[in-house]
Amino acid sequence: MSNKVNLTCPNCKKIVEIDSKFKPFCSKGCKSIDFLKWANEEVSIETFEDQGLD
């Protein structure tokens, strides 16, 4: 039996290599996509709260 844990990428659901330096993501691309999504949400929330009371 194997001791390996099958980690899957939260973004694309591919199997992540156990020694991947982008864990828990499969690649640099998936890691930055997830970060950008998160960053964009933060930015748009702040932007919306700052506007609209004119």
Binding residues for Zn(2+), as ranges, are 9, 12, 26, 30
* Residues forming the site for Zn ion (CB under 5 A): 9, 11-12, 14, 26, 30
Residue numbering of the annotated binding site: 9, 12, 26, 30
Closest separation in Å from C-beta 36 to Zn ion? 14
Residues 18-48 as b or e (16 or more Cβ within 10 Å = b): eebeeeebbbeebbeeeeeeeeeeeeeeeee
C-beta of 12 vs 45, nearer to Zn ion: 12
Closest separation in Å from C-beta 3 to Zn ion? 23
54: helix, strand or coil: coil
- Sole residue written with tokens 């709260």: 49
